[in-house]
Structure formats: structure tokens, C-alpha cells
Amino acid sequence: MWFSQLFAVLSLNLRSLRQRLGSSAVAVVGIAGVVAILVAVLSIGEGFRAAMTGSSDSDTAIILRSGSTSEMMSGLTREDGRIIADAPGVLRTDDGAASSPELFVVVDLPKKSTGTDANVPLRGVEPAAFAVRPDVELIEGRNFQPGSKEIIAGRGAAEVFAGLEVGSTLRWGQNEWRVVGVFAANGGLAESELWCDLRVLQPAYRRGDSIQSVTTRLESPAAFQRFADALETDPRLNVAVQRESDYYADQSTWLTRTVTILAGVIALVMGVGAGFAALNTMYTAVSARTREIATLRALGFGTGPVVLSVLAEALLLGLIGGALGSVLAFAAFHGFQTSTINWQSFSQVTFAFDVTPTLLARGVVYALVIGMFGGLFPAIRAARLPIAVALREL
């Protein structure tokens, strides 16, 4: 009996929805706007995190000078690099140890979107860098020639910054560099960088024989502790060893947390506005159906079905708004390429907005919360409506 009453009242609500199309559309659009912005802002953090950790493996280690929090602050020697390459647990291939000594500097390049200069990472590497990062592959042009001032650009950097077309020439200080290729790295951090020959970059920036980090591929993830213990207890070295995945996850924490807090504040402020729009819509619906509700109550319908029918209508509006906002966010922002500064290295990181299924689900859930808020008080008002007072409007 109770369920049949609920179904009858709910059916009546939905059939009369066309009569309140204008106010309902306002609530749906408001909720959709909130969800679209919430999902878009959160996708910034997801995209940045994916770029920082997307190509990091648990069987890859990064070695910095002890006490350094980033490559920019680190300093090692080529002799350190040779000792690290000989450590136990390092993957050995036909070409030697999969251990890459690297030098990290930043150069100025203008953004295509604004024309303003930004710090772009320029990394000096040796051939072992490609064995350490097997996901790196050339998608345009060719690799740089050892001993020449040639550069290959990450796909993300080539999309965001000007002057990185294959065949173009760049000048920094007294040195001219020629772009000869573009590479992809499974959407990872390397796509934000420019790569060149380590032995050419060192004298170009007067770095002597120094390096800043060593990235090493291990035999297996289980070999990490043995490898780290050997290096950190070696009296010839003063280094700290981290899994590459942990190192980049730590670097992405600050921005991801900041974006999440910002999204929460925006969602709260806009959600209150959308909630009041839904509240107004449902109060209007209850007022317009005062006589219907009173008649149903006089015929013996309970307060429960009346309350739930109003809430169900509000949740339906929230669901429609949430779905619409999620679709808009995905269509407008997913895959949008941009860049931001990595405060650990003071260089730009290119990344794409990542509208994940989890974010879409969070957006829809938030829309349902707004709908619930908008329908709760009107539903209570409908349930408490005195039958005698309401019937006088007939």
C-alpha cells in the first residue's frame, strides 16, 4: 500500500514537471555549472599528478646528493656516477649498466598561448637514459647526435612552447641548438623536457664534469633496498636514494593538495547558490501543487510518500544537472594541454587536464547532495501542510 502510494504521487509529480519547466531548467543549469567547474578544477590536479608519476616505475631509482630535495639543489661528480653504476642490483644489458648520469638546467622559451617566457627543463643525458626510460620513443624527426648541439623535445613541451618545431634553431647565451626530434614518454614528466648530449651541455653551461642526479633501472623492485643500502653506506659517496615513483609523487603533493582545497572552496560557494536555486524550484513546485497534495492527503495518502516524492523530484533534477555538468567538463577540458611551474625545480611541467571516471562520479554525487538539500525543506513543508488550510484553495 505504502509503495503504491509513493508510485502514484511520484508519477503525478513527473507528469506535472512540464508545467514547471522554466524553474526546473534554472536549477538544472545551476547544478550543471557547479559540477562542470568542480570537475574541471579537480582535473588539473589529476593531470599534474599523472604527468609527474605516469612514467615512474618502482624498479627505477633516482640518486641525489644527500639533503637535496630536487635535482636543482643536487650536485654530484662523474666519478659518483661510475660508482653508482657498479652498485649491486643495477640492471645490466648488452650495452652496459642501465644507469644514467644527468645534468638539469632551465632555459627560457615563450609560451604559444601568451608569448611570455617560461623556465623549461633542459636535460643532458647519455645513451643509457633511453634504457632507463623504455617508454621514451621518438615520434618525429631523429635522435640527437653525440657531440653535437642538437635537442630532442618532449611532446608536451613542443605543444605548449614556441620554437620547438623540428628543424628550428634556438639560442641561449652564446650557444645555438638545433631541434632534431620530438619524443613521447607515455604522458610522463619527461614530455615536459628538452634532451641533449650530457657532454655537450656540461661545457655549454660551464659545469665542468659535474652532474646533478643519476637515474638507475634496477633488476627488480625488490632490489631497491639492497641497492640503496650499498650506496648510502659507501664512504666514497654522500647520496640519498629514492624510488623514482616516490620522488615524483612527493613533488606533486603540494599542487594536488592546493588544487583540491581550491576546488572545495569553489564547489562550496557555488554549491550554496545552486542549492538555493534548487530550493526555490522545489518550494515553487510544492506551492503550485498545494491543492493536489491536500487532496491526496484527504484521500488517505500518508506523509511519507509525499515527502519522498518531492525529494525524488529534487534528486532527479540534481542527477540531470550532474550528468550534464560532467559531460560538459569532459568535452571542454579532458586532454586540454597546459603547463604550470613545479616549485621544486622552478621549471615548467606540461600536462593535460585529466577528467577521470572517479571525478565524474564525484561530480554527480555532489549534484545529488545539492538536489537533496534543495528538496528536503520543501518536502517537509509539503508533509506538514494542514489539509483544511490547503483545501480552502480549491
Q: If residue 165 lies in a helix (H) or strand (E), which one and from where to where?
A: none
Whether the CB-CB separation of 3 and 302 falls below 8 Å is answered with: no
Kindly report which listed range (14-23, 51-60, 143-152, 315-324) carries the lowest average pLDDT score. Answer: 14-23
Distance separating alpha carbons of residues 279 and 93, to the nearest angstrom = 67
Q: Is the pLDDT of residue 301 over 70?
A: no
CA 204, chain centre distance (Å) = 35
DSSP letters spanning 33-76: HHHHHHHHHHHHHHHHHHHHHTT--TTEEEEEETT-SSGGG--E
Identify the burial level of 176 via C-beta atoms within 10 angstroms of its C-beta, where 0-12 means exposed, 13-18 middle and 19 or more buried: exposed
In tens, the pLDDT along 207-261 reads: 888 999 999 999 999 999 999 999 999 999 999 999 988 888 777 777 677 777 7
pLDDT, greater one: 289 or 74:
74
Whether the CB-CB separation of 192 and 252 falls below 8 Å is answered with: no
Dihedral over Cα of 146, 148, 149, 153: its sign: negative
170: number of Cβ within 10 Å: 19
Distance separating alpha carbons of residues 233 and 247, to the nearest angstrom = 20
Distances (CA, A) of 28 to 237, 271, 353: 63, 12, 25
Most confident by average pLDDT, 52-56, 73-77, 298-302? 73-77
In the numeric block, the cell 594541454 is attached to 337
pLDDT of residue 153: 95
pLDDT of residue 186: 85
Domain ranges of the chain: 2-53+251-391, 67-237
**Cell for 367?**
549534484
Identify the burial level of 242 via C-beta atoms within 10 angstroms of its C-beta, where 0-12 means exposed, 13-18 middle and 19 or more buried: middle
Average pLDDT of span 190-209: 92
In tens, the pLDDT along 35-71 reads: 888 888 888 888 877 777 666 677 899 999 998 888 8
Closest CA to 63 of 75, 51, 45: 75
In tens, the pLDDT along 312-371 reads: 777 888 888 889 999 999 998 888 887 776 666 666 777 788 899 999 998 899 888 888
Closest CA to 247 of 214, 272, 274: 214
Distance separating alpha carbons of residues 239 and 84, to the nearest angstrom = 10
Q: Is the pLDDT of residue 385 over 70?
A: no
pLDDT of residue 360: 93
Closest CA to 178 of 166, 193, 194, 161: 166
Average pLDDT of span 78-102: 92
pLDDT, greater one: 156 or 302:
156
Whether the CB-CB separation of 351 and 254 falls below 8 Å is answered with: no
Dihedral over Cα of 56, 61, 67, 73: its sign: negative
Distance separating alpha carbons of residues 346 and 120, to the nearest angstrom = 9
| 195 bridge partner residues | 123, 152
Quick one: CA torsion of 106, 107, 110, 111, rounded to 10 degrees? Answer: -30
Q: What are phi and psi of 57, to 5 degrees?
A: -120, 150
